[in-house]
């Protein structure tokens, strides 16, 4: 009898541990139902010191890296008010599978780019990369002198957010970082 009680106790602990493991791996459904909810609104733009440059465009013909239809794709263009000649583009993509998201993120954030331009990695979640152009990128030696191209890729739930800027100001990196944080806050 003395041996049965510890075995029951151990079995009970194992069952509780499994239940806790299962509960912690189940993700709550995203509060975001589509890419339109991630687009920066006028309040966001005022607080970020930016302006919209035309209307956001959606495209229902986009496909994933593996050739599957992408259910939602949108692109918005912005300017940074205090930085002349600096343009920003945000691509918003919603995927139907984590595999397609992971493959597209891995390809987009690493293809044609060298590691020398990495500013930060995973500072915006488990899969994020912030970088600036450099001469070691594919065709980087052809970049115009004094031009900076910042890229921030962020994966969140089944969404891939890609923020890109081009301009003559190094200070654009702070704007790109703030845009990424602002979009991520919409998931909370």
What is the number of domains present in the chain? 1
| Residue 65 within a domain | yes
Residue 12 domain flag: no
What Å distances lie between residue 148 and 37, 108, 143, CA to CA?
29, 18, 9
With respect to residue 45, please indicate whether it lies within any of the assigned structural domains: yes
pLDDT at site 5: 59
Share of the chain above pLDDT 70, in %: 84
Q: Which helix (H) or strand (E) holds 21?
A: helix 4-25
User: pLDDT digit string (tens) for 72-126?
Assistant: 999 999 999 999 889 999 999 999 999 999 999 998 888 878 888 899 999 998 8
> Residue 76 CB: number of other CB atoms within 10 A?
21
pLDDT, residue 137, reads 76
CATH code of the domain covering residue 127: 3.40.1000.70
Range of the domain at 124: 31-185
């Amino acid at each position: 009898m003395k041996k049965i009680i510890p075995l029951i106790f151990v079995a009970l602990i194992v069952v509780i541990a499994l239940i806790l493991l299962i509960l912690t791996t189940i993700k709550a459904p995203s509060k975001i139902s589509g890419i339109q909810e991630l687009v920066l609104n006028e309040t966001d733009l005022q607080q970020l010191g930016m302006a919209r440059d035309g209307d956001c465009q959606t495209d229902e013909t986009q496909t994933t890296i593996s050739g599957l239809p992408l259910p939602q794709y949108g692109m918005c263009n912005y300017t940074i008010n205090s930085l002349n000649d600096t343009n920003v583009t945000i691509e918003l993509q919603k995927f139907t599978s984590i595999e397609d998201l992971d493959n597209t993120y891995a390809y987009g954030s690493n293809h044609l780019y060298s590691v020398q331009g990495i500013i930060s990695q995973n500072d915006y979640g488990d899969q994020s990369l912030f970088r600036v152009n450099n001469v070691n990128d594919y065709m980087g030696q052809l970049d115009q002198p004094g031009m900076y191209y910042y890229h921030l890729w962020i994966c969140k739930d089944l969404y891939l957010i890609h923020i890109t800027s081009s301009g003559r100001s190094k200070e654009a990196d702070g704007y790109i970082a703030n845009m990424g944080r602002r979009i991520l806050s919409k998931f909370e």
